[in-house]
């Protein structure tokens, strides 16, 4: 996801005073359900009954809160510290940006290069991620940069945080949380799509068992999304758009409907007309990246289905009373 700046919704003292909801199992996250996912009726006593969906994974009753790189306003982005905090705060989804190492391991990192957020040996912790092995990346400290950049939010526990692999993320959280995964590529040649689908399948996150879109995959590349769709048609996909300054055209939305269930525009490109046009095509609207409460309210008022934020707790405080995300059947969406 594109960078959002580090604007603060409230000062450090006020934010520190907010009550955190403790524990992953206490998360009351409610995730987006864009299509009904019914199961077949049993025909005899041997038929397996689908277990009830965990209460924390039921259909949402308000626009979804997507933790941009985790709770990255308060902890180093794409570390377990940021992910854990996002879930404690009550985020519905935690976002992972993916990069691929030289030895084919998917890791969570926004930038294609290590220089901004990694500290450690130059040969291992600077330059392109694609030129490093996972063992080299294990030498990197992914937390100290945050303490340097934001001394008012510094924490000694952030020093030495490791870069997480996607496999480690799935092992840590399993089927208890919702994932919003971005394939960082300029096309389907990145090589990320197949290993990602393999990991999600092995973790039981592709077969639709949760019934309520537990995983969403997003990309700026239509080719990448189409490849994911060919590998795992069950996975819901969201088409990202760069900041354009212009309204997205209806013709463009018509193209997206062929393979995706939603769009991810920059917040500056979102207005009521865009939301209405997207909803008419059963496309959800998840703008990025919003930390200002006033802008949050504007977007909620025009009817977005959720949004990305670095401060999930701030958005949770604004979304009450706004309508639940779009709910469409596959037939209504024409797919």
Half-sphere exposure of 260 (CA within 13 A, CB side): 30
106 CB-near residues (< 8 Å, 6+ apart):
98, 99, 100, 165, 166, 167, 192, 195, 196, 199
Cα–Cα distance for residue pair 86/172, rounded to 1 Å:
14
Q: Are 27 and 178 in contact (CB under 8 A)?
A: no
99 CB-near residues (< 8 Å, 6+ apart):
106, 107, 108, 109, 111, 112, 129, 130, 184
- Concerning whether 279 is annotated as a catalytic residue, the answer is no
Q: Out of 68, 78, 286, 322, pick the active-site residue.
A: 68
Which DSSP helix (H) or strand (E) runs through 220? Answer: none
Catalytic positions, please?
68, 110
């Amino acid at each position: 996801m594109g960078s959002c700046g580090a604007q603060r919704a409230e000062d450090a003292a006020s934010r520190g005073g907010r009550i955190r909801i403790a524990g992953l199992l206490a998360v009351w996250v409610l995730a987006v359900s864009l299509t009904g996912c019914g199961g077949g009726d049993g025909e005899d006593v041997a038929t397996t009954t689908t277990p009830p969906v965990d209460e924390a994974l039921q259909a949402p009753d308000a626009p979804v809160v997507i933790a941009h790189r985790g709770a990255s306003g308060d902890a180093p982005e794409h570390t377990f510290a940021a992910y854990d905090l996002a879930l404690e705060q009550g985020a519905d989804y935690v976002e992972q940006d993916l990069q691929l190492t030289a030895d084919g391991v998917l890791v969570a990192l926004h930038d294609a290069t290590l220089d901004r957020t990694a500290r450690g040996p130059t040969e291992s912790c600077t330059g392109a991620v694609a030129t490093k092995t996972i063992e080299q990346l294990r030498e990197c400290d992914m937390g100290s940069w945050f303490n340097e950049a934001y001394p008012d939010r510094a924490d000694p526990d952030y020093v030495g945080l490791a870069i997480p692999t996607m496999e480690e993320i799935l092992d840590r959280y399993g089927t208890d949380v919702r994932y919003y995964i971005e394939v960082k590529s300029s096309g389907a040649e990145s090589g990320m799509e197949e290993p990602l689908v393999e990991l999600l399948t092995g973790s039981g996150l592709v077969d639709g068992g949760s019934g309520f879109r537990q995983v969403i995959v997003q990309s700026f590349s239509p080719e990448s999304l189409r490849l994911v769709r060919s590998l795992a048609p069950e996975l819901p996909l969201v088409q990202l758009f760069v900041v354009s300054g212009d309204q997205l055209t209806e013709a463009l939305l018509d193209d997206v409907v062929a393979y995706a269930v939603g769009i991810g525009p920059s917040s500056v490109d979102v207005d009521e007309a865009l939301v209405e046009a997207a909803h008419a095509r059963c496309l959800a609207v998840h703008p990025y990246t919003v930390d200002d409460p006033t802008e949050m309210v504007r977007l909620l008022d025009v009817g977005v289905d959720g949004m990305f934020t670095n401060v999930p707790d701030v958005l949770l405080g604004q979304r009450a009373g706004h309508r639940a995300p779009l709910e469409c059947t596959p037939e209504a969406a024409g797919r």
